[in-house]
Structure 1
Amino acid sequence: MLAQNEAAGLDSEKLEALYRQLGDSSAEDVVCRAMEELALRLSQVERYFRANEIDEMRKGARSIAAIAEQIGMAALSRVAQQLHQCASTNDTVAQAAVLARLIRVGERSLMEIWELQDLSI
């Protein structure tokens, strides 16, 4: 079995800049809302794929990329962009593979940023 282990790829400098710019309380609110939105959109994108709603999956991937980029989730943003690009093909195998990677990286990114918040960036 292929071991699927990929780092979350957080950009801590971007996250720290967000905290400096907004202050601890406001930045924490922004990050928490972004995390909730990402979790919701990750599940939506997966449902769209299963329902063969590829245009909706593409839109969801684009929004995941934008939200992830704002809070320093570089790897998640990059994989979401790859899913967005892949959705324009008729290659459902490639779409499924990139989606599975998006879910894995998304879960790891959310866990890692949650742990960072517990340590009070």
Structure 2
Amino acid sequence: MKPSPRITHVSWGRIDVESLGSGKDWKLFPGGGRAWDWNEHGTRHEPGIRPEEIGELLDRGATVVVLSRGMDLRLQTMPETLRLLEEAGIEVHTAETRQAVSLYNELTKTRPVAGLFHSTC
């Protein structure tokens, strides 16, 4: 399995990902990633990250998922999303974006990890 791309920079409104470029929000997984378009599944700060956002991460072989909460911790995660991950036997971490990036980058060294990263509020 190909490794997950590392995040090389994070600041308000910008996340740089190796070999993928810069963007505001990212959906990353083993072997690649893409811009995270919240409109695709109707994600909003509240009620938060929807279960529909997770399928692609699992389909790409992730055994660990890191969900960022935004720089100001405004992004929530729906309980249904956490339940889906738990039922799939996936280790999940939620954290403020900079902390989530640090954890994700550490996990990329040894595990098939995926994550959703939000660079603002």
TM, length-normalised to structure 1 = 0.28
Between structure 1 and structure 2, the one with the greater Rg is 1
The structure with the largest strand share of the pair is 2
Report the structure, 1 or 2, having the larger helix content.
Answer: 1
